[in-house]
Amino acid sequence: MKNKFCLLLVLAMITFLNVSAYAQSKVIKGVIKDASGLPIPGANVLIKGTQKGTSSDMDGSYTISVSSGSVLIYSFLGFKNEEITVRESAVYNVVLKEDNNSLEEVVVVGYGVRKKKDLTGSIVSVSSEVIDSRPVQNAVQAMQGKAAGVDISSNERPGTVGKVTIRGSRSISASNSPLYVVDGVPINNSKPLAGALGKSVTDVSDSNAGGIDFLNPNDIESIDVLKDASATAIYGSRGANGVIIVTTKKGKNGKFTLNYSTALTTEEINENAPMMSAGEYIDFRRWARYYSNPSAFPKGDAPTIANDELIFLKSADPSAWANIAKGWEGGTWDGSKVATTDWAKFVTRTGITQQHTVAVSGGTEKMKGYGSFGYTGNTGVLKGQSFKRYNGVANVDITATDWFSMGANLNTSYSINEYGQSNIGRSAVSSTTGIYNSARLNLPYAVPYDSNGNRIDNPGGDNTIRTVIDEDKYSQDQRVTVRAFGSFYSQVDLGKLIPVLDGLKYRLNFGPDLTSYRNGVFLDARSAARSGTSFASLIKAQTISYTLDNLLFYNKTFRKHDLGFTFLQSKTGYQYEDSMMAANDVKNPENKWNALTPSNVTLSNYSTNIIESGLLSYMGRVTYGYDNKYLLTASGRYDGASQLADGKKWDFFPSASLAWNMNQESFLSDVSWIDQLKLRVGFGVTGNAAVDPYSTQPPLAGIVYPNGSGLVNNATLGNPDLGWEKTKQINYGIDFSFANSRISGTLEYYTSDTTDLLLRRSVPTPTGYRDTFENVGETEGEGVELTLNTVNVKAKDFEWSSNLSFSYQQSSIVALANGKFDDINNNLFIGQPQNVLYGYKSNGIWKPEDATEMAKFNANGAGFSFGNARPQDQNGDYKIDANNDRVIIGSADPKYIVGLTNTFRYKNVELSVFVYGRMGYLYNTSGENSGAKGSQRSIDYYTDNNTNAEYQKPIYSAGTGDSFFPILGYRDGDFLKIRNISLGYNFTNEMAEKAGVSKLRLYFQVMNPGMIYNKVKWMDFDTQSTASNRGFTLGLNVEL
Amino acid sequence: MKKYKTLYINLMFISALVLSTSCSDDFLDEKLTTAYTKDYYKTEAGIQALAVGTYYQSFALEFALEVPLTATQSGTDEFHAGGDPSNHIWNSYASGLNSFVTVSNANTVAANTNWDNLYVAIGNANQLIESATAIVSNNDAIKKRALGEGYFLRAFNYLKLVSQYGGVPLKLDLSTTVEVEFKRATAEEVFTQIIADFTQAYDLLDNAGGSAKITKDAAAHYLAKAYLSRASEINDSWNSATKTADLQKVVTLSDEVIAHHPLAPNYVDLWNFTAPDGANEKLSEIILAGQFNSSQLNTGSNWQHLYFLSTYDQLPEMKRNLAGGRPFSRLAPTYFTYDVFDKINDSRFWKSFQTKSIVNNKSTGSDYVNGDLGIIYIMNAPSDTRFAKTKNTNYLIPGGVKKIPSVYVQYAADNVGLMADVRFPSLSKYMDGSRIDLTSQRGSRDIILARSADTYLIAAEAKVRLAKQGAATFADALPYINAVRNRGAYKAGENRAAYADGSAAWTAAGQAGIPISYIPQNSYYESNNIAATTAATNLNITSISALPAEDMAVITKLGYGSDYDRMLCLVLNERTRELCGEFHRWQDLSRTKTLVARAKAYNIEAALNVQDFHVLRPIPQTFLDGIYANGRPLTAAEKDAMQNPGY
């Protein structure tokens, strides 16, 4: 392998030699090394003033023929350039110094790049090193906690992604999803499937990251997040929620590499909320029966066999009863003798994820290329859930002449998501979020098999509780996605053609984006989601979108003035088509969803649909810099969107920002510890038209009535005046770097003001409609973001560095549809954040000592009893009523988000610990219904013997016993969690070389080892469920 | 070379220009090609489609959930709480029945569900009236019919609204922008509108199309019902001016409808459902029915088969099966319902309730075989002394040949009764064996909205009321009452132990190999303990002073003395005997202001809480929270004021 690689290099060099052969010159050679004396392969050697050059080989050696007196420029990414004038000598050994100044890093700003030090807007970047530092399945996971102001929730289902919000939610009904731009092309991240699946399917991923999850994280060079409006306004109508710009890896000039990285992860589900044991549950239901009818049932602590036979449905499931009967052996009750069935263990397993990426890259002056193949295979921790993704990437950039270059980038993926137990086609009584939830619905005293070893369909004898034994065999929901995303450009440097146009370039970008989706569902008649008959459905959806940009760039420097112009004309088209068919009672399970033919089944549903939308844009931007001290960026964008009303389709989105590089001023030039100090201020207006197409003219709803097909008005009132939602934002920022970059970071403060909010608003039904889309009201928000990178300790062999990202955000509603009036039905309140909990506030539980108070309520018809949840009576009239006693209980939006990575490096060993947290919000855990008909997690509940309990007394019911039980569910959602601990080992070059490679890194990682802080121990507020996955990863990166 | 460069540049600019100009304005035009927009309503086909859609909205939508149950059957004298508490709050009138209904589970009907559905239906009816008025058409069969249907549908939904809530906002056109300022009209204004609309429908429509279509007779029936409602006790504070005239119109209209819709010969014909769209759904007696059939593609489906069933499947030797039904067990009959029938002479009890099931899950070691009697309800008289216990397991009933796993007795010496447990004879009128499997909720039986037996009793009530006004005699009501009673009597030669319900529509495939629990037999003889007979019976009431014993028991219990009260009581009792569980009861009791007395007397859960204010439903909180007055939302005090008193 290595030999072939060298051969390739030699061939490349011969090419260069041939090119430069006619120059009358002498041959010089040398070795390029870094400060520690290690050779640098692939370093560039360029003859100044020409395009001629070479690059170093694997040993850092180079050979080049030059004429005496020429100047050679030695360069390598991450090192400072070195220049040498060729004299007599034939050997020039060069030592390149590392360039620690991150300020020279290039940041993608949208329709171009800028050096970090020249930025005027608020942009946070995540580099490939950060992305590669821990194994993740998609780019969204990689960003989590690494960028201040970007909040990403966790979603652990294989093949799905969390929700991304940048600087909090501003919009109410329009999308809060950021715009994703991959290699310069905005990608389609519209939710597919809305048409085919309709509203009946609730588990279609409603995350808003749709789009970049298809990328292999190993193919990503950098992610730049545009946060403030002065930066995002360049994307005008789509910039309101921030812009995430992904740049994929490209070949680099002179450096040919072959990379292989792999990781193996094992995971187990970690449950924080254990279920009651059989003995505990039996007591619980006995109490529940007693409280539901004290005259008919004995107290929970005074059980009788006859009563147990009745309440545990002896006749319906003799096997479960046989288990309970063990507790009665010997005549008195001993709950510990009843065996507990751990139903979760029938649906869980060790999850295994394998990731492999092979990537090659390389390039010459004229041509650069990158190719990769990636595979991710994930067997989920829940039976029946798995995810496989194959990625292939190829890109090439060719500079054909000095005035024309062209590039093509194709990013493809093929993924198979076995979603596990499906909710599509569910007909069983109890609805669950999946197989794990279904398992936890089963009763702990019930047993899976009867005495003959047959599966018991309804363990415990309750018709609404179905067994999960073999459920993974009886329920399949397979989602296959093929996506091809291209980015093509050609660029003409007009200055090279017509000298007077020096600095003027024209560029054409074309970005097609194709997605094909297939969802097949088959539920066997024996599935827990069905009963009696089988079900099959097939959904196919196809999305075609494209972006076509015409761009003109003009950049000119004269003396201390840097001037730049960008002009854009852009067009985006989107087309979505789907088809769906479904049938009950597919006789042959082998047919799955593949034989929905007239001879086999009668379709129970079918549909086809198409959705089209378009966006047209014109944009201009000017950048001006004076002496690297004062920087100005101003832009304006004019956008038209098809889904808005006629006459409201077009709008204008301006922005301007200023930066002052203070460290360039003479008064700071003596202060050696300041590397950078930059003040920024920016202003911008961005828009949001992210409502569904056809919202201004809702289609009539089709009805199938036995008399024939009919139509009714859409329950959503069409709004012919629907226009843009607009956000104005002002951003103040300080970028700093002190003490030779030992301390660096950014501090930002912003205020935002969103007007003409797009709101899907419920309306009084006497209008004949249920809701409508309207531009209403205004929200304002502010926030602080701090990114801080510090090198805390730096010794010869040891380094400790920290990376902190912290954000604070606060938003409130200023006005709504009709001014400063609360809108209770839509849960929106003036002066409050958008997501508030509104209702009756908890005053704990009614206890015997509250008898007199309780009696006053009951005198007004309340019907409270001891052990019931006790709502607060706000106006003190001893009546709990909706008009007077509902209040705002708290905000469900986190105020603080923290991500902290500490990295310790000793020689070749690197240890890093990543901590993530959200704070300052209430979470509605919904309380415990305590009907005691279904299963129950272990809780502290009220009984006559335990009056100081956390939750109300159980009251037996198929629904809920206590009408006010939800008020006991509001909890402080703060948490600080160790997401992962990673230990890496970088082999020394000598060791690597012995293994025949140039770089070798091995790492080990622990995921979700535990919480540092959380008030509610039984919840993981990161995954927003009671469970999260915990596991280990072993990974390897090899570079040839 | 230089020349070519210039050429290239020119080409590039031209292509750029072409690409830019191709982005002309029509690129942003939004064309909805997959569905109709309101422009379609300007065509004849469009208004016909809208009419069909509004039929669905008004006659089918609500039957896929529990609104019909909670709005019209819960909390009455006919039914009380069954085993499942999803909607018990609507039965018990407990404090959770308020502007927000306390939710028990996902099936709980919210306070605003019925309100919102009715107003959305009215919105479509308004659209239909507006579009049918505007359309240029000389085809009366289309234009007049659509207009007539529009008026009928609007009035149909307003009649439901006023019956539930009293005066409600009167909206007679369609909003084109968001409107939030609404006030409640008076009940009088709402009735005036309802009567005007039904009258328009009556004038515009003909009698084509049978019970699937809105006919002139359907308009007449509902117009009669609206007049009768306006003339009822709940409106006595303002209805005196129109009362007598209204009642006279009720009689005229009813007579017209009755003449066109003869009663089915046998009461069981109405319920003997053997196949979707079968013979029992095409009887002349049926005036209007919500349409359902076996197509899985229908937007609506009939779920009412779920709600009235007892949980037979939890009893020994039994399991759930398609023919036995999926017992949601929401409502159980009260002792009023059991005892208001003359169980020896009135066939209607035995044709409305299921009293026997057979073993279909023989347990290992038991002496039973599948097909043996598994459950029997002995619906005996209070005077019957044969039984010691209400609930008997593995019991040989007197005169029986084999033990029966579960025997429940209406009157036993232990006095426990059938309301103490959740086992009861199931109302069988909606049983539906045509479903695809045992858990399928999609039923395919039509729902009878109006049948002429109801018209007879509407006329009878009008006569009773006219008698009170001095415009008729009480005896004038008897022919109407006797017409339905005589149909309910046993015919000569009739097998009194025979039983039939919609379970008979079951297919072997849907049964999926599970043995059935259905048996075409009732417990007539076990209950009545009389010798087998095929003689005819007579239910005729000959004099208002000789009312049947069952009715006298109710009259005595409720303490009625005047002829009017006694006769109204008879009519209301007869309505239960004839129309039990057919979604009329709550309105009948509420409008006659007999709800509180009857619920207290017969509904054990409602008795604890029901008060005078419960004759109207709470105005939904979502409505109060959503509307404005004088450009601002209502204050808490204004909301309290707009709410019906007591809530």
What residues of chain A, 480 to 539, have a C-beta less than 8 Å from chain B?
492, 494, 497-498, 506, 508, 525, 530-533
What residues of chain B, 363 to 382, have a C-beta less than 8 Å from chain A?
363
The CA-based angle A426-A432-A435, given to 5 degrees, is 90
- Residue A158 is predicted with a pLDDT of 73
Chain A residues inside the 8 Å CB shell of B84: 958-959
What is the secondary structure of A503-539 as a DSSP string?
Answer: TEEEEEEEEEEEEEEEEEEEE-TTSTT-SSS-EEEEE
Whether residue B136 lies within 8 A of chain A, CB to CB, comes out as no
- Residue B378 is predicted with a pLDDT of 98
Q: How far apart are CA B374 and CA B318, in angstroms?
A: 7
- Residue B3 is predicted with a pLDDT of 56
Q: How far apart are CA B54 and CA A22, in angstroms?
A: 88
What residues of chain B, 215 to 244, have a C-beta less than 8 Å from chain A?
none
- Residue B439 is predicted with a pLDDT of 80
What is the secondary structure of A809-878 as a DSSP string?
Answer: EEEEEEEBTTBS--BTTTTB-BTS-SSEEEEPPEEEE--GGGHHHHHHHHHTT----TTSEEE--TTSSS
Q: Rounded mean pLDDT of B180-192?
A: 97
The residue among A344, A314, A324 whose CA lies nearest residue A279 is A324
- Residue A31 is predicted with a pLDDT of 86
**Mean pLDDT of chain B, nearest integer:** 93
Q: Rounded mean pLDDT of B410-416?
A: 95
Whether residue B69 lies within 8 A of chain A, CB to CB, comes out as no
Q: Rounded mean pLDDT of B481-493?
A: 97
CB contact under 8 A, A764 and B509: no
% residues pLDDT > 70 (chain B): 96
Q: Rounded mean pLDDT of B505-530?
A: 90
Sign of CA dihedral B299, B303, B305, B311: positive
**Helices B140-165 and B187-204: angle between axes, nearest 10 degrees:** 160
Q: Which two tokens stand for residue A803?
A: 């990376």
Q: Which residue of A has its CA nearest to B27?
A: A614
Q: Are B517 and B323 a contacting pair, CB within 8 Å?
A: yes
Residues paired with B357 in a beta bridge:
B375
Q: Under DSSP, is residue A11 helix (H, G, I), strand (E, B) or coil? A: helix
Q: What share of chain A is helix, strand, coil (3-state, %, to 5)?
A: 15, 45, 40
pTM of the complete model: 0.88
Kindly indicate the confidence band of residue A197, based on its pLDDT and cuts at 50, 70 and 90.
very low
Kindly indicate the confidence band of residue B2, based on its pLDDT and cuts at 50, 70 and 90.
low
Q: Answer left, alpha or beta for residue A470, where phi above 0 means left and psi between -120 and 50 means alpha.
A: left
Q: Which two tokens stand for residue A991?
A: 């060791």
Q: How far apart are CA A78 and CA A129, in angstroms?
A: 13
Q: Which of A151-155, A281-285, B12-16, B93-97 has the lowest mean pLDDT?
A: B12-16
CB contact under 8 A, A492 and B28: no
Question: What are the backbone angles phi and psi of residue A681, rounded to the nearest 5°?
Answer: -145, 135
**Mean pLDDT of chain A, nearest integer:** 86
Q: Rounded mean pLDDT of A675-691?
A: 87
ipTM summary value: 0.90
Mutate to test the interface with B, among A691, A767, A828 (most CBs of B within 10 A): A767
The residue among B429, B424, B427, B430 whose CA lies nearest residue B409 is B424
CB contact under 8 A, B52 and A506: no
Kindly indicate the confidence band of residue B125, based on its pLDDT and cuts at 50, 70 and 90.
very high
Q: Least CB-CB distance to A710: which of B55, B126, B510? A: B55
Mutate to test the interface with B, among A650, A711, A864 (most CBs of B within 10 A): A711
- Residue A163 is predicted with a pLDDT of 76
- Residue B524 is predicted with a pLDDT of 98
Tokens 């033990």 map to which residue?
B403
CB atoms within 10 A of CB A38: 12
pLDDT tens digits for A305-353?
988 988 898 877 889 999 999 999 988 999 999 999 999 999 999 999 9
Q: How far apart are CA A633 and CA A691, in angstroms?
A: 30
Q: Rounded mean pLDDT of A411-429?
A: 83
Whether residue A401 lies within 8 A of chain B, CB to CB, comes out as no
What is the secondary structure of B69-132 as a DSSP string?
Answer: HHHHTTTSSSEEE-S--TTHHHHH--TTBSSSBPP-STTPPPTTHHHHHHHHHHHHHHHHHHHH
Kindly indicate the confidence band of residue A150, based on its pLDDT and cuts at 50, 70 and 90.
confident
In chain B the first and final C-alpha atoms are separated, in Å, by 91
Kindly indicate the confidence band of residue A165, based on its pLDDT and cuts at 50, 70 and 90.
confident
Whether residue A3 is predicted with pLDDT greater than 50 in this model: the reply is no
Q: Are A147 and A805 a contacting pair, CB within 8 Å?
A: yes
Q: Are A1004 and A983 a contacting pair, CB within 8 Å?
A: yes
Which residue type does A554 have?
A: Y
Q: Under DSSP, is residue B508 helix (H, G, I), strand (E, B) or coil? A: helix
Q: Are A601 and A588 a contacting pair, CB within 8 Å?
A: no
- Residue B20 is predicted with a pLDDT of 52
Query: Which residues make Cβ contacts (< 8 Å) with residue A525, sequence separation at least 6?
Result: A531, A532, A533, A534, B437, B512
% residues pLDDT > 90 (chain B): 83
**Helices B452-469 and B478-488: angle between axes, nearest 10 degrees:** 150
Strands B373-378 and B404-409: parallel
Q: Are A862 and B95 a contacting pair, CB within 8 Å?
A: yes
Whether residue B137 is predicted with pLDDT greater than 60 in this model: the reply is yes
Q: How far apart are CA B419 and CA B409, in angstroms?
A: 11
**Helices B216-230 and B452-469: angle between axes, nearest 10 degrees:** 30
Kindly indicate the confidence band of residue A816, based on its pLDDT and cuts at 50, 70 and 90.
confident
CB atoms within 10 A of CB A58: 16
Whether residue A19 is predicted with pLDDT greater than 60 in this model: the reply is no
Whether residue A461 lies within 8 A of chain B, CB to CB, comes out as yes
Kindly state the helix (H) or strand (E) to which residue A100 belongs, with its residue range: none
User: CB pairs under 8 A, 24+ apart, for A553-556?
Assistant: A553/A112, A553/A504, A553/A505, A553/A506, A553/A507, A554/A503, A554/A504, A554/A505, A555/A503, A556/A502, A556/A503
Q: Under DSSP, is residue A63 helix (H, G, I), strand (E, B) or coil? A: strand
Q: Rounded mean pLDDT of A221-247?
A: 86
pLDDT tens digits for B433-454?
999 888 888 999 999 999 999 9
Kindly indicate the confidence band of residue A23, based on its pLDDT and cuts at 50, 70 and 90.
very low
Q: Where are the alpha helices (DSSP H) in B238-362?
A: 243-260, 335-339, 347-352
CB contact under 8 A, B314 and A313: yes
Q: Least CB-CB distance to B28: which of A584, A616, A704? A: A616
What is the three-state SS of B531-577?
CCCCCCCCCCCCCCCCCCHHHHHHHHHHCCCCHHHHHHHHHHHHHHH
Q: Rounded mean pLDDT of B135-140?
A: 88
Q: How far apart are CA B301 and CA A427, in angstroms?
A: 15
Sign of CA dihedral B32, B35, B38, B42: positive
Q: What share of chain B is helix, strand, coil (3-state, %, to 5)?
A: 45, 10, 45
Q: Are A740 and A720 a contacting pair, CB within 8 Å?
A: no
DSSP 8-class letter at A407:
E
User: CB pairs under 8 A, 24+ apart, for B129-132?
Assistant: B129/B154, B130/B173, B130/B174, B131/B41, B131/B42, B131/B46, B131/B47, B131/B50, B132/B47
A766 CA to centre of own chain: 41
- Residue A205 is predicted with a pLDDT of 38
Q: Are B170 and B197 a contacting pair, CB within 8 Å?
A: no
Q: Rounded mean pLDDT of B541-547?
A: 96
- Residue A375 is predicted with a pLDDT of 94
Query: Which residues make Cβ contacts (< 8 Å) with residue A791, sequence separation at least 6?
Result: A741, A742, A743, A799, A800, A801
Q: Which residue of B has its CA nearest to A644?
A: B30
Which residue type does A702 have?
A: G
Q: Which of A473-477, A818-822, A916-920, B146-150 has the lowest mean pLDDT?
A: A818-822
Greatest mean pLDDT among A17-21, A959-963, B216-220? B216-220
Chain A residues inside the 8 Å CB shell of B299: 702-705
% residues pLDDT > 70 (chain A): 92
Residues paired with B81 in a beta bridge:
B331
**Cα atoms in the Cβ-side hemisphere of radius 13 Å centred on B204:** 23
Going from the C-alpha of A224 to that of each of A103, A124, A237, A679, the distances in angstroms are: 15, 6, 19, 20
Tokens 């060298």 map to which residue?
A6
- Residue B353 is predicted with a pLDDT of 98
Whether residue A295 is predicted with pLDDT greater than 90 in this model: the reply is no
CB contact under 8 A, A818 and B632: yes
pLDDT tens digits for B582-616?
999 999 999 999 999 999 999 999 999 999 999 99
Which residue type does B595 have?
A: L
Question: CA B418, B424, B429, B435: dihedral to nearest 10 degrees?
Answer: 160
Residues paired with A556 in a beta bridge:
A563
Q: How far apart are CA A351 and CA A374, in angstroms?
A: 20
